[in-house]
Amino acid sequence: MTTSSNGVSQPQVMQRAALYLRVSTARQAEHDVSIPDQKRQGEAYCAARGYQLVETFVEPGASATNDRRPEFQRLIEAGTSKPAPFDIVVVHSFSRFFRDHFELEFYVRKLAKNGVKLVSITQEMGDDPMHVMMRQIMALFDEYQSKENAKHVMRALKENARQGFWNGSLPPIGYRVVAAEQRGAKTKKKLEIDPLHADTVRLIYRLALEGDGTTGQMGVKNIVSYLNKRRIFTRDGGRWGIGQVHRILTRRTYMGEHEFNKRTKTKELKPVSEIVTVPVPPIIDTETFDAVQARLKARNPKVMPARVISGPTMLTGLIHCAKCGGAMTIRTGKGGRYRYYACSMRARQGPTTCTGMAVPMEKLDDLVADHLEQQLLQPERLETILASVLDRRQEQSERRREHIAELNKRAAESELRLKRLYDAIEAGVADIDDPALKDRIDGLKAIRDQAKVDSDRAQAMLDNSGSKAVTPQMVRAFASTARQRIRFEGGGYRRDHLRALAQRVEVAEGEVRIMGSKSRLLQALTGKNSVNSVPTQGLKWRRGGDSNPRYP
């Protein structure tokens, strides 16, 4: 009770309070660490001071270094609404509310403007300037401690990664986490290949490099359509998207080099010195990964414009200066009567940057064509070059047969377990209404169906690769046809399909180096990159009207 100026007693208005409880990690929330204790102390604090507890906000596993917290935002929204549903926000300590001194003061003042006060159970403060200063000093110490803890945690995580162990989070598709060793109470974990989904990763890389046997190399969009059309699902049973496939095609983890601590919380790249490379079992070989990266770069219109692929010059986009590594571009002389390949760095920045030479275009085109015709496009030479690739294909076929056998075995085991469960239900041993039994049946069905789908896909790929076996007759026919077409007048095959034979030409004083990929050569030989198709990046017009139809 309170007494007014005229001596009449009036009832005291009970203040309304809201509790905000928070722990930093989801693991703490799962094990009920801290939150029950915070709640107990908060309720006792409110009861001791006569506060009416109207609402409790629980934040299970969220950092206090930023405001991206659902319950925190709900608290602020309620506390700044008019009228506010509570008068006081009670926290165990100011660090539970925020670990950033600037943000803490910002939200304290934001609540105060609406008549809502923030109080701490363990750090009671007044409203005078000295106590405000003390609160700010404590917030600075909380922020410093948070950053120091983060630094020590990251140092431990990086050391764990250097030793080859997995630091948590969901592994990339194609891998699974397994226990590696026990160190006291902690179980160290590593990645191993998941046979159920690793073949999907291999398929994506194969489609990017070779296509499906009926078409040439596929882009990311076509790969997505291929997977979804054939009901090849993601690890979670969903449909594929462009971003998912692109991440798989560019992730170094699949060649055995997982990069830990690569990006900040804002997704910015960290310096190379901060990145730790963790060795993991490779799903694809390095040569395949590098070939895919070159392919993606070549298809990127920001890096390789359409005129480079379908332009009138033979070596545009392939030819580079051996001295500086820069691209060589076309220059003309005598009013356009003479055309040269010249170093673009020298042309743009002068001879102090590069002293590279200029070479007559027709002379260099003929030189490259002659070398490919006389040195590369000979049956004996092709057989020698492709021998190692063919051996690798044979090894891959053997591994695929083993993988198919493993998938069939997994499907058969799942089918047998399902039969046993059905027998137990029929015999009355198991209760069909038991939720755990239903989950077990659904899980076994999912494993069986996925194993069958993966087995069928792997078998189709094996059959397809077998039908493309390279024979001496194929080599001789390819060499003969390529020698004829590389001399086709006006460009033709030698301009549009030279990239099947060579991917880089370097020009130095008295020397021209021609470099190519064995895999690309094999693809051209087996017909997966048809010599009759011309790569283009032109516009595709919408059939049946424009994109903004004006008539019904």
Number of H helices, E strands in the chain: 18, 16
| pLDDT tens by residue, 223-246 | 998 998 888 888 877 889 888 999
Q: Which two tokens stand for residue 211?
A: 């296509």
Q: Which residue has the tokens 């309070």?
A: 17
**Secondary structure (3-state) at 536:** coil
Characterise 31 by phi-psi region: left (phi > 0), alpha (psi -120 to 50), beta (else).
alpha
Residue pair 75/97 in contact (Cβ under 8 Å)? The answer is no
Higher pLDDT, 500 or 532: 500
Q: Quick check: 538 pLDDT over 60?
A: no
In the sheet where 328-333 sits, what is the strand order?
328-333, 338-343, 359-360
Angle at which helix 70-79 crosses helix 101-112, to 10 degrees, equals 30
Q: 175-299 has which fold?
A: Hect, E3 ligase catalytic domain fold (3.90.1750)
Average of per-residue pLDDT across 112-116:
91
Q: Which residue has the tokens 């998941």?
A: 194
CATH superfamily, domain 9-155, is Resolvase, N-terminal catalytic domain (3.40.50.1390)
Q: Which residue has the tokens 């109207």?
A: 54
Q: Quick check: 317 pLDDT over 60?
A: yes
CA gap 193, 379 in Å, rounded: 39
Residue pair 201/248 in contact (Cβ under 8 Å)? The answer is yes
CA gap 358, 341 in Å, rounded: 6
Write b or e for each residue in 402-430: b if 16 or more Cβ atoms lie within 10 A of its Cβ, otherwise e: ebbebbbebbeebeebbeebeeeeeeeeb
Angle made by CA atoms 183, 185, 189, in degrees to the nearest 5: 55
Of 56, 52, 66, 148, the C-alpha closest to 99 is 66
Q: Which two tokens stand for residue 67?
A: 């405001």
Rg (CA), the chain: 34
Average of per-residue pLDDT across 356-360:
82
CA gap 46, 39 in Å, rounded: 11
Of 121, 124, 143, 144, the C-alpha closest to 134 is 124
**Dihedral over Cα of 94, 100, 101, 104: its sign:** negative
Average of per-residue pLDDT across 137-166:
79
Q: What pLDDT, on the 0 to 100 scale, is given for residue 457?
A: 76
Q: Which two tokens stand for residue 305?
A: 């414009």
Higher pLDDT, 48 or 379: 48
Query: Which contacts (CB < 8 Å, 24+ apart) does range 385-393 have?
Result: 385/518, 385/521, 386/470, 386/475, 386/518, 386/521, 386/522, 386/525, 388/518, 389/518, 389/519, 389/522, 390/470, 390/522, 392/285, 393/465
Q: What pLDDT, on the 0 to 100 scale, is given for residue 469?
A: 60
CA gap 505, 321 in Å, rounded: 9
Average of per-residue pLDDT across 422-448:
81
Q: What pLDDT, on the 0 to 100 scale, is given for residue 304?
A: 52
Strand ranges for 6-78 from DSSP E: 9-10, 16-23, 52-60
Ordered by start, the domain boundaries in the chain are 9-155, 175-299, 306-377+486-525, 379-473
CA gap 262, 271 in Å, rounded: 8
Higher pLDDT, 205 or 68: 205
Higher pLDDT, 207 or 125: 207
46: confidence class by pLDDT, cuts 50, 70, 90: very high
